[in-house]
Structure 1
């Protein structure tokens, strides 16, 4: 065999193993969702079995009525058998209807409990995953997992599984009833199972790829839409509407074609099932008619056999619809289980070291880190920051400043070395202690939907109104907050759209102030501000940084002036380390940057 042939077999074998692993992963997830509901599921299954048995009894009672009760009335005037059979028929019909109503409500409760658990699990898990996941997995994909994929499962759970259980039980009980009633009439039905199996197998294989493609294109539609709407300012600024529309149209067209192909398959499968069922029923009727003619079969038995044959094929259409839902849901479940399988790259230790109150001393010891192992951003960084010191990080874009900040905030863990807070490795701290001790304020100054007070209180859940106001006063935000229509109860609108950049940043400072961390990281916190806003924020900074360890990342050297110490970074290494005054007076990199900045202000 050629090398290409061997490689092809290896790829095919890998694909099979991967498909098996995905199925196993999905089944494990489904099992974990069903396990807490096993008692209710058992109860529900009991109900549907009894209901189906009552439903299947109808044709047999009809046969008894025609072959026994009707002759008793015509020959002897005896209405008792007829009344008993009619009563039994009504009782079984009423029982079946009541139990099916209970079954429907019970399955609905089961499905809603499963979806509730799944939605909560997806939200909790994705929220707790590390930044490495969120920076590589787009928000559109996460939204697709929580919306369209969960809705696909809902469609299966709400109707598909119910149709499957009832359909399979009905077919089994119908077949058993036909065998008990007249075994000879089952021969055409058994023969029809052979083409039915091949026909179903063809549909299964042909539709699997189409369902997966449909889910894929549906997810791409959502991703494209979410990313376009999220970045609408950039779209407007760079006039990308036409380009985005072309890309979106391609996704829409792909989704339409995948859906059309799926409908085409059902356009063959559904009529094919009906045709096969009608042929089988005709065969039972013709063969039974000959037996009725020669006196070896009662006409009531023939009628019941025809009805059972027809009813045997009735659920097949529902089963086909179940398969439609199942294929889509299986694909959705694979994607959801894939997200839930993701593990945080910054896991919490099982036995954390307690940290009641941090002093704020930070040490980087031989820290090496890179977002890709082949390209380290920080090669063996050593840095000691005494408690209470304000440290400014300066350097060109890509020098490693923000990476250092992310490591200190433990968005990532070092590949080599350790980062300690008061002598304790960050990896040995609980997440709660770490978040209380270290807070990071970014350039974005993200505000959530809600009031001003609610956004400030994010730093200290449960904070009183007095504490919120005190935090705002401390950073200089109280005056503009009180000038707003409802003061601290003013709704900030979507992402703080009601506020200016400087006001949003001051609120983020108030949020950090009320959190009262011992280590504060400011990552380009003033980069997007104009001069008046920056001066407003500078006053808030002086209060915010007092009596705590602070790391300031800034391109604007006006922010650096309040630092006790300045580090200049290049290519992940510290090339200058001294007080701002000494560095400005020197001839190094910082002195050059400072001179250029002063010239830009002239």
Structure 2
């Protein structure tokens, strides 16, 4: 069964445009906080692994924070050794301090008094220094191992989460009504399902581990800084409010640009998809320049939004580095004065300066991640719009089914409208007996295709009901209903695969003999055998290598193979030549035998043998009867018939 064609009637924004009021991207993030929380809640199924990520993060950060303190101890060992060499051997530390004060060198005396483990006349204790450095090496190796484990588990969590998100999007797309796709460009939907999902994966991968590590580092380093020197810690914290203010101001300006960036990406993808799909038509009508101009406009809009988003958000990191350097200068100056006064050891100041760097670095990282997080949340909101879109009506809890499917179709006071304010079909009643062939004719937009789409339950009725063998189709499952129906459309649909696989698409594991028999019945076997690989010839979704008429023969053979109870033919022979059309008409007569058939046709000469002809205008049946009776009535059908043959006569002349 081929994919349903877009019916005439539903509201559209035109090619390449989407209905901004129906699922289009917002001008700005509607709920940044809510979308962020929802995205994080998607990690819940892996909460145990997330817990391990947190544990390994704490261990890695904890060991990384211990490292500078140990290095400070190593510095103290070196410094005390150098100072000890300058004191005459045989004197005590107290005597050396008293001598210095007597000489008026109070600053050096204060420094010496604050030092521990100074041995006059002795140099650097290399054994102790070796032990300290060994601990430093072990601490940093441990931090690296735990960081590696954290990164590994973070990758597992992110990829599992995005895997589930892709599953949800795929399942959601299968549950969305046809009207949703009528109101969206395919490129926009594909962009949300692929590009935006990939951007979410990149955002989670890069930000989750880094954000967790940065926050833990800020907390641990801040504690170490207060432990070493509350005064220096307060000085270091002075720059934090400035950092927060700068980040918030810049982030507020860059956030709308990221939304525009991904909205522009969707529009560009939609245009590319449409132009690539219809590249032959574009070339035939010489619209390459217009297509290129539209592409340039979308590309310029994407460039502009992306440039603004990246440039504005990129200001965060240099601004934070500048503030961090100011912090470094303040700490170095005040710390040097504290060492000179003997209030702190040189190793403590060195450790504090390292902590100051460690403190400003995660702040810079968190700030620089603002653009990444905003981009990811913007994509998440676009994907969530798909997940939150209204689905088709749910299947009944206990689906009904006919006791025996024979193909009786009844319309009881059926009403339908795409737009609530514009009725299309009103109070239509009709009964089609099993095995009857019903032809539906009328001008474009009369509701012919809509009528058969309602039988397929592609749309839900506005009023009334449709019965299949006296069972309301609304009480049946869609799958079971559509199993009874074979549909061949004017617009052919093929997928990348062999011709045999395309033929077998509508059947359940058919044998090769059945595939060939169906192709022979649809008169497709002859051209298939002329191809290099016959039935194993691979074609793509565009049907490259086969003509439009041959593609239609494949879709007709697909309907033969499905052996449906009800057959729907929507201008199914419009792309074949006259001789092939005659052959297909004969084959269709065989296929329709014993089956209820609905035939939509514009060429009235192809439906003369129909059991019942319905003439539709403005969604209503204005005439019904056989070919001869309708001609004799001299009404709408007779006018259509006469107009066709008059046009044919004019063409001949």
Q: TM-score, normalised by structure 1?
A: 0.92
The CA distance in 2 between the partners of 1:36 and 1:171, in whole Å, is 28
1:40 partnered with 2:49: yes
Return the structure number with greater relative CO, CA threshold 8 A, min gap 6: 2
Q: Which residue of 2 aligns with 1:589?
A: 636
1:277 CA displacement: 0.7
Aligned residue among 50, 57, 60 for 2:59: 50
Q: Which residue of 1 aligns with 2:325?
A: 278
Q: Which residue of 1 aligns with 2:3?
A: none
1:193 partnered with 2:240: yes
Post-superposition Cα deviations, 1:106-125, rounded to whole Å, max 9, x if no partner, equal 21122222222222222222
The CA distance in 1 between the partners of 2:69 and 2:35, in whole Å, is 45
Q: Which residue of 1 aligns with 2:186?
A: 139
Q: Which residue of 2 aligns with 1:59?
A: 68
1:601 CA displacement: 4.8
Are the counterparts in 1 of residues 154 and 209 from structure 2 also a CA contact under 8 Å? yes
Aligned residue among 619, 632, 636 for 1:572: 619
Q: Which residue of 2 aligns with 1:390?
A: 437
Root mean square deviation, CA, Å: 2.2
Q: What SS class does the counterpart of residue 193 from structure 2 fall into?
A: helix
Q: Which residue of 2 aligns with 1:27?
A: 37
The CA distance in 2 between the partners of 1:409 and 1:212, in whole Å, is 38
The CA distance in 2 between the partners of 1:273 and 1:482, in whole Å, is 70
Q: What SS class does the counterpart of residue 401 from structure 2 fall into?
A: coil
Post-superposition Cα deviations, 1:274-319, rounded to whole Å, max 9, x if no partner, equal 1111111111111111111111111110111111111111123322
1:549 partnered with 2:596: yes
The CA distance in 2 between the partners of 1:30 and 1:519, in whole Å, is 48
Question: Alpha carbons of 1:363 and 1:396: their partners in 2 closer, same or farther (altered >3 Å)?
Answer: same
The CA distance in 2 between the partners of 1:598 and 1:399, in whole Å, is 21
The CA distance in 1 between the partners of 2:402 and 2:146, in whole Å, is 59
Are the counterparts in 2 of residues 439 and 519 from structure 1 also a CA contact under 8 Å? yes
Are the counterparts in 2 of residues 140 and 222 from structure 1 also a CA contact under 8 Å? yes
1:226 partnered with 2:273: yes
Q: Which residue of 2 aligns with 1:8?
A: none
4+ residue stretches of structure 1 with deviation over 4 A? 18-23, 76-80, 599-602
Question: Alpha carbons of 1:207 and 1:559: their partners in 2 closer, same or farther (altered >3 Å)?
Answer: same
The CA distance in 2 between the partners of 1:22 and 1:132, in whole Å, is 28
1:562 partnered with 2:562: no
The CA distance in 2 between the partners of 1:143 and 1:460, in whole Å, is 28
Question: Which stretch shifts more, 207-216 or 366-375?
Answer: 207-216
1:411 partnered with 2:458: yes
1:356 CA displacement: 6.8
What is the correspondence of 1:41-440 to structure 2 with a 5 Å cutoff? 41-68=50-77, 71=80, 75=119, 79-355=126-402, 358-440=405-487
1:421 CA displacement: 0.7
Q: What SS class does the counterpart of residue 495 from structure 1 fall into?
A: coil
Q: Which residue of 1 aligns with 2:585?
A: 538
The CA distance in 1 between the partners of 2:313 and 2:619, in whole Å, is 59
Question: Alpha carbons of 1:220 and 1:466: their partners in 2 closer, same or farther (altered >3 Å)?
Answer: same
Post-superposition Cα deviations, 1:140-162, rounded to whole Å, max 9, x if no partner, equal 10111122211211221221222
The CA distance in 2 between the partners of 1:399 and 1:78, in whole Å, is 99
Question: Which stretch shifts more, 98-107 or 472-481?
Answer: 472-481
1:597 CA displacement: 3.2
The CA distance in 2 between the partners of 1:600 and 1:133, in whole Å, is 39
Q: What SS class does the counterpart of residue 167 from structure 2 fall into?
A: helix
Are the counterparts in 1 of residues 251 and 371 from structure 2 also a CA contact under 8 Å? no
Q: Which residue of 2 aligns with 1:486?
A: 533
The CA distance in 2 between the partners of 1:252 and 1:502, in whole Å, is 37
Are the counterparts in 1 of residues 402 and 469 from structure 2 also a CA contact under 8 Å? no
Question: Which stretch shifts more, 254-263 or 513-522?
Answer: 254-263
Are the counterparts in 1 of residues 35 and 377 from structure 2 also a CA contact under 8 Å? no
The CA distance in 1 between the partners of 2:32 and 2:470, in whole Å, is 43
1:488 CA displacement: 1.4
1:484 CA displacement: 2.1
Q: Which residue of 1 aligns with 2:14?
A: none
The CA distance in 2 between the partners of 1:480 and 1:359, in whole Å, is 34
Are the counterparts in 2 of residues 409 and 439 from structure 1 also a CA contact under 8 Å? no
The CA distance in 2 between the partners of 1:498 and 1:264, in whole Å, is 47
Are the counterparts in 2 of residues 449 and 493 from structure 1 also a CA contact under 8 Å? yes
Question: Alpha carbons of 1:330 and 1:238: their partners in 2 closer, same or farther (altered >3 Å)?
Answer: same
The CA distance in 1 between the partners of 2:277 and 2:40, in whole Å, is 33
Q: Which residue of 1 aligns with 2:112?
A: none
1:522 partnered with 2:573: no
The CA distance in 2 between the partners of 1:89 and 1:480, in whole Å, is 77
Q: Which residue of 2 aligns with 1:7?
A: none
The CA distance in 1 between the partners of 2:36 and 2:597, in whole Å, is 46
Q: What SS class does the counterpart of residue 238 from structure 2 fall into?
A: helix
Structure with more of its chain in helix, by fraction: 1
